[in-house]
Amino acid sequence: MGSRYLFLVLSGLATGASWVCYFRALKIGKAAQVAPIDKLSVVLVTIFGMLIPGERPTIPNWTGVAVIAAGAILIAYPA
């Protein structure tokens, strides 16, 4: 039971650090280029989900991940 709370606290700290980094990136960069990088977290979570707990995404899941990745790349691409 104690380790559950430890992971909740660590998750909260990581989330807070993530937001600090995100807003720092927004301060020094363009929002149109910073925000898409944040959306790539979905792609990373899917990959980590396969590597660590051994989840197996379906074809529709992979299609969604590919669309998110492609959208992030297209949005970040300079006009």
CB 43 within 8 A of CB 69: yes
**So where are the chain's domains?**
2-76
Give the pLDDT of residue 61: 94
Give the pLDDT of residue 1: 61
Mean pLDDT of each 10-residue bin along the chain, 79 residues long? 87 94 91 84 91 92 94 82
pTM, entire model: 0.67
DSSP structure string for 31-61: HHHHHHHHHTHHHHHHHHHHHTT-----HHH
CB 4 within 8 A of CB 43: no
Give the pLDDT of residue 33: 82
Q: How many helices (H) and strands (E) does the chain have?
A: 4, 0
Give the pLDDT of residue 78: 75
